[in-house]
Amino acid sequence: RISAFLSGIGVTALLQSSNATALIVSSFAGQGMIRLSMALAIMLGANIGTTLVAQFLSLDLSWLMPVFIIFGVLIHYIYGQKSSLGKNVARIFLGLGFLFLGLDMIVHGADNFIDSPIITMMFERLNSDYVFAMILAALITWLFHSSLAFVLLILSLVSGGVIPTELGLVLVVGSNIGSGIAPMVMTSKMDISIFRVTFGNFVMRLVFGIVCVVFIDTILMYLGEMALLGD
């Protein structure tokens, strides 16, 4: 189980999508290649792998965007016409470059919300109802089909002072729950052995989210102490 857990972290860090990992693992479980317990261990690692990717992308990596795009264009120009390997490598670099470009646009696009009275008023109402805020974040993430993009958007809103840290943490918890809805819906009409993996993943996220909201004050206190120790 520990190996399955670690492999889930590694695969999701490479794919940058826990939803993709969920679909791959559930298909393996449906074919009888892995047991349900192993599949859930992989998904638990995948959930942690997503947070590591978010931590990595929260750094200032805008300089990587032009580097990847330039490398992708050069590799495609030099090797793309000669071999399929060169073409695929070029696609990887271009894909990573456009990924960083899109995430950078999401983060900096939130700067326009800082001076908006409508956005400020909306988040003030959410700040008084954590349960509704968590449900709303889950639904938005389900529509986005990407918790990573929504989490980075929340980080930019918190750093810009649009929303307080407490509300930002609740929204991240809700986004984590919402990220488990999409693969569960996709596999709802498939074989039961496939659906068990995505459903179990959603239940783990839901239980963890409820625990976080119940003990939100204690979590914030410990996070504050960790921040002071880091300073």
Q: What is the mean pLDDT of residues 190-212?
A: 88
Average pLDDT, the chain: 80
Per-residue pLDDT of 117-138, as tens digits, reads 776 677 777 777 888 888 888 8
Per-residue pLDDT of 49-90, as tens digits, reads 878 877 777 676 667 778 888 888 888 888 777 778 778 888
Q: How far apart are CA 40 and CA 199, in angstroms?
A: 10
Burial state string for 152-182 with b = 16 or more CB within 10 A and e = fewer than 16: bbbbbbbeeebbeebbbbbbbbbbbbbbbbb
Q: What is the mean pLDDT of residues 192-212?
A: 88
- Under 8 Å between Cβ of 51 and 45: no
**Looking at residue 124, what is its pLDDT?**
74
- Under 8 Å between Cβ of 193 and 29: yes
Q: What is the mean pLDDT of residues 13-33?
A: 81
**Looking at residue 199, what is its pLDDT?**
92
Q: What is the mean pLDDT of residues 83-101?
A: 81
Q: How far apart are CA 65 and CA 27, in angstroms?
A: 33
Least confident of 32-41, 115-124, 201-210, 218-227: 115-124
Sequence-distant (6+) residues with CB within 8 A of 137 are 150, 154, 170, 171, 172, 173, 174, 175, 177, 178
* Nearest partner of 222 among 165, 137, 177, judged by Cα: 165
Confidence at 97, pLDDT banded by 50, 70, 90 = confident
Q: Is the pLDDT of residue 231 over 70?
A: no
Least confident of 9-23, 105-119, 201-215: 105-119
Q: What percent of the chain is predicted at pLDDT more than 70?
A: 89
